[in-house]
């Protein structure tokens, strides 16, 4: 079962740095990420999601590939690729995997203008190796899907890592 972590930061730059650090830790196999999104509350109050994966672009690329292959069969590869890309982009835009976009937008309404939050859906992790590397960025733990006891243990570990 995956666990959700939401951490608020005072600015977008810090949230992006933590996301990059988490992706790096994932490459080192210290954490297995299911989804990771930076949500920004702009100065005008609007919420902007910075998704790590663009389903629209992925769908368009896959659709163009398959459309081109099918187009080759009917001697119209360019038309097939164009139709496939359009269909793939439409399908990709309608796909929402990982953390629910509406949930992220609703929770981010509580952010101060100019602030950002990092939403991370973690399949598994090595907390003793991940927490010290993330704690140095600061931030405020807003929400988790952990039990109250596990969440308090995490808060204590973050506090200890920040003070060392």
Q: What is the pTM of this model?
A: 0.70
pLDDT for position 148 = 87
Q: What's the pLDDT score for residue 24?
A: 94
- Show the low-confidence residues of the chain (pLDDT under 50): 54-56, 94-95
Q: What b/e readout covers 50-60, taking b as 16+ CB neighbours within 10 angstroms?
A: ebeeebbeebb
Q: How many angstroms separate the CA atoms of 103 and 90, rounded?
A: 22
């Amino acid at each position: 079962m995956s666990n959700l972590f939401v951490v608020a930061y005072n600015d977008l730059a810090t949230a992006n740095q933590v996301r990059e650090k988490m992706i790096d830790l994932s490459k080192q196999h210290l954490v297995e990420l299911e989804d990771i999104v930076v949500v920004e509350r702009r100065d005008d109050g609007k919420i902007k999601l910075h998704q790590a994966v663009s389903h629209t672009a992925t769908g368009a690329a896959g659709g163009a590939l398959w459309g081109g292959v099918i187009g080759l069969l009917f001697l119209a590869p360019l038309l097939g690729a164009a139709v496939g890309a359009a269909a793939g982009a439409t399908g990709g835009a309608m796909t929402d995997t990982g953390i629910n976009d509406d949930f992220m937008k609703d929770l981010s309404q509580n952010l101060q203008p100019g602030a950002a939050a990092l939403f991370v859906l973690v399949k598994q992790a090595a907390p003793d190796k991940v927490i010290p590397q993330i704690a140095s960025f600061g931030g405020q733990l807003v929400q988790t899907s952990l039990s109250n006891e596990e969440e308090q243990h995490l808060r204590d570990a973050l506090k200890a890592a920040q003070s060392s």
